[in-house]
A and B are shown apart, each in its own frame.
Chain A
Amino acid sequence: MPAFLENLLWVIGTLVACAIVAWIFRFCLRLIPATWAKPFNDMPLTASFGLLVVILYAVVSLLAPIIAPFGEREIVDAEYLPWDTTYILGTDNLGRDMLSRLLYGAQNTVGIAFLTTGIAFIAGAVPGLLAATLGGWVDQALSRTVDVLMAIPPLIFALLLLTIVGTSITNMVIVIALIEATRVYRLARAVAAGVVVMDYIEAAKLRGEGLVWLIGREILPNTAAPLVAEFGLRFCFVILLISALSFLGLGIQPPTADWGSMVRDNATLITFGDITPLLPAAAIALLTVAVNFVVDWMLHRASGLKE
């Protein structure tokens, strides 16, 4: 099994390299003046690795047009070329540069996922906070609706809605945002329900504060930590759902570079022993793992500060 051992060595080597990079990054973070660097003192290596990866993705997605050697949709050479010096990761099924599309994919996939999560958050958190604050029939009506919507498996629901409205990026964003908003609503309502029974809310109500003040100045700051963590987790679910749909050919449509559809288009290469099509999938996996690591640390910190 020399091939297997070689693979194993690669995996171990990569893990060690990641740990070293994460350690250096954490060391650099701690050089920032004390008041700012405080949270980084107790940061585990996994979290610093996650943070580094998230920052890296953000930079790449913003600078994609500058870094990418070729255009997103530009056909540069023959199909399925192997890795070489001109086309660092070879070319894809239509002869487009793989590396360039991977970089542009960061912009498209991550950007669309971020936008979708943002919409889902506003559409879920606002009614959730409202339901918890107002209670009564508003709460009942919203909660029962969400209960029913959540009883349908998300991917199946997305497929059903996409059949009806047709497949396009806008439709997909709206459909996924709607589905994920139900999950956000659940959490926002549950967390806020614990806050509204506090004495300071009662005091604010007796002072005669309005609903907007109550939610914006009293409830929101006290529910921020779990909501921010939820944003990270939701983002992971959204990017997995979007890439699953794109992989099935129902999400982001070609010729837009997107990681899910890139795997689908080049999948035949895998059976020939070429790992290039795995790279976009690995890019998704790396990002979701990184976000999970950061969220894990944030949740730990949030719970530690409360004690």
Chain B
Amino acid sequence: MSAVWQMTASRVALGLLTLFIISLIIFGALELLPGDLAEEILGQSATPETVAAFRKELGLDLPAHVRYFDWLGGAAIGDFGNSLANGRPVSELIAARLGNTLFLAVYAALIAVPLSLMLGILAALYRNSLYDRFVNVFTLTSISFPEFFVAYILIYWLAQSGLFPSMSNISPDMGLFERLYRGFLPALTLTLVVTAHMMRMTRAAIINLLASPYIEMARLKGLRPSRIILQHALPNALAPIINVIALNLAYLITGVVVVEVVFVYPGMGQLMVDSVAKRDVTVVQACALIFALAYVALNLLADILSTLSNPRLVHRR
């Protein structure tokens, strides 16, 4: 058992190192800017006095490593400084929106994961049938669609008739059902975007195993195809499937940005896009760090879970 803990610990340590370097990049990208952030943001018409005052306010007169550790230390306890655009604390701007984004991502994942597993297993069961081919073309097509195309098709079909609202302006005082109802179209868009890839990989992972001797054995015993796939192939295909699920959940994080903008959903993605346009660096840095954290964490989770799903690695002699 200790070997597993050791491996998990080393993976977590590696993940933390990655995060540390990412934080360096997110912070350091600003330093690469030719000239100065203050001059860049205030524009050419700014007087030297305003530039100096602005620099002092941002702490730009301090050396870079001091500012970096200040920023990182603050970020660790949820304090990201103040927004450059309106002076409010960044944590205040993010707090409510982070919850909304997580709600949307979890909502989409709860639909997408069971759906794609089911479709993938069915495609493996009825491989090379008409159903399989249809699903194949459909998934190849939907992988190459821009997210906003899928979103607007859904609006055209489902929102225009008044079935669902085309704007998911949810607020904290709404009940769960109201939130689920209003968030349905964005969640469905995200589902469609990630399902294709997940089910393709599920199908591939299971079909890969079908040539193994123990599957041959099960078939010779006269087991039903559904039993062979569910009880014999699926447990052994878990590692790649877990991996691809986690990777797609990580992909949701990127997809959420565009989808939130289409549906005017009050989440982190929309905040980040607005802040990029305003060049509100502190907010963008905070959002980037949180998105990167989720991305790295999910990849780490995939890594650990897929190892744990393999008994040969857990009970190594």
8 Å CB contact of B144 from A152, A160, A161, A289: A289
11 A-B pairs with C-beta separation under 8 A: A153-B250, A163-B275, A163-B281, A243-B148, A250-B273, A250-B276, A263-B152, A270-B152, A273-B156, A289-B140, A292-B143
Of B91-99, B223-231, B252-260, which stretch is located at the interface? B252-260
Q: Out of B152, B250, B276, name the residue touching A163 (CB < 8 Å).
A: B276
Contacting residues, chain A, for B166 (C-beta < 8 A): 271
Interface residue ranges of B183-242 to A (CB < 8 Å): none
**Set of chain A residues within 8 Å of B25, measured between Cβ atoms:** 148-149, 152
Within 8 A of A (CB), among B234-291: 250-251, 253-254, 257-258, 261-262, 272-273, 275-277, 279-281, 284-285, 287-288, 291
Contact present for A281 and B148 (CB under 8 Å)? yes
**Is the pair B140, A148 in contact by a Cβ cutoff of 8 Å?**
no
Task: Give 10 new A-B contacts, CB below 8 A, not counting A163-B279, A267-B152.
Answer: A151-B18, A151-B296, A153-B250, A156-B295, A161-B29, A244-B148, A247-B146, A250-B277, A273-B160, A285-B149
List the 7 closest pairs (A to B, CB-CB), nearest first: A288-B144, A281-B149, A155-B254, A163-B284, A160-B288, A153-B254, A156-B291
A55 touches B (CB below 8 Å): no
Say yes or no: A270-B145 contact (C-beta < 8 A), given A152-B292, A153-B295, A248-B273: no
**In the assembly, what is the distance between CA of A163 and CA of B32, in Å?**
13
By a CB distance below 8 angstroms, the chain B residues around A275 are 156
Tally B residues with Cβ within 8 Å of A: 52
What's the least CB distance linking A269 to chain B, in Å? Answer: 10
Instruction: Flag whether A277 is at the interface (Cβ < 8 A).
Output: yes
Contact of A244 among B153, B258, B287, B296 (CB under 8 A): B258
> Cβ of B291 and Cβ of A153 under 8 Å apart?
yes
Does A146 interact with chain B (Cβ within 8 Å)? no
Interface, chain B (partner A; CB < 8 A): 18, 21-22, 25-26, 29-30, 32-33, 40, 137, 140-141, 143-149, 152-153, 155-156, 159-160, 166, 250-251, 253-254, 257-258, 261-262, 272-273, 275-277, 279-281, 284-285, 287-288, 291-292, 295-296, 299
- Give how many A residues have a beta carbon under 8 Å from the other chain's beta carbons: 47
Whether A248 and B261, one on each chain, are in contact in the complex, defined by CB atoms closer than 8 angstroms, is yes
Residues of A within 8 A of B279 (CB): 163, 166
Taking a contact as CB atoms under 8 Å apart, the answer to whether B33 and A164 are in contact is yes
- Nearest-neighbor residue (CB-CB) of B250 within chain A: A153
Contacts of B275 in A (CB 8 A): 163
Q: Mark A200-238, 1 if CB is under 8 A from B, else 0.
A: 000000000000000000000000000000000000100
Give A282 to B273 CA distance when docked, in angstroms: 24
Q: How far is the CA of A277 from the CA of B40 in the complex (A)?
A: 36
Complex contact B160–A282 (CB within 8 A): no
> Assuming A153-B292, A248-B257, A270-B160, is B146 touching A159 (CB within 8 A)?
no
Q: How far is the CB of A281 from chain B (nearest CB, A)?
A: 4
**A139 within 8 Å of B (CB atoms):** no
- With CB as the reference atom, state the residue of chain B lying closest to A160: B288
Please give, as numbers and ranges, the residues of chain B lying within 8 Å of A278 by CB-CB distance.
Answer: 149, 152-153, 156
Instruction: Return chain B residues, CB-CB under 8 Å to A161.
Output: 29
A142 at the interface (CB under 8 A from B): no
A240 contacts chain B at the CB level, 8 A cutoff:
yes
User: What is the CA–CA distance of A299 and B292 in the complex, to the nearest angstrom?
Assistant: 33
Kindly provide the distance from the CB of A260 to the nearest chain B CB, expressed in whole angstroms.
8
Q: How far is the CA of A99 from the CA of B142 in the complex (A)?
A: 25
How far, in whole Å, are A260 and B148 apart by their CA atoms in the complex? 9
Task: Provide the residues of chain A in CB contact with B250, threshold 8 Å.
Answer: 153
Q: How far is the CA of A164 from the CA of B251 in the complex (A)?
A: 24
Q: Is the CB of B276 within 8 A of A263?
A: no
| Residues of chain B lying within 8 A (CB to CB) of residue A249 | 273, 277
Interface residue A82 (Cβ < 8 Å from any Cβ of B): no
- CB neighbours (8 Å) of B21 from chain A are 148, 151
A159 vs B25: C-alpha distance when bound (angstroms): 14
Contact B295 A164 (CB under 8 A): no
Chain B CB within 10 Å — which of A157, A162, A260 has the most? A157
Q: Which of A152, A161, A296 counts the most B-chain CB atoms under 10 A from its CB?
A: A152
* Contacting pair B29 A285 (CB below 8 A): no
CB closest residue in chain B, given A15: B137
Complex interface: chain B residues within 8 A of A267 (CB): 152, 262
Q: Which residues of B contact A154 (CB under 8 A)?
A: 254
Which among A236, A240, A275, A293 has the highest number of chain B CB atoms within 10 Å? A240
Establish whether residues A156 and B288, one from each chain, have CB atoms under 8 Å apart when the complex forms. Answer: yes
CB of B189, distance to nearest CB on chain A (Å): 13
With a CB–CB cut-off of 8 A, which chain A residues contact B272?
156, 159
Contact yes or no, B273 A164, CB < 8 A: no
Is A167 positioned at the interface, with any CB of B under 8 Å from its CB? yes
Interface residues of A in 131-181 (CB under 8 A from B): 148-149, 151-157, 159-167
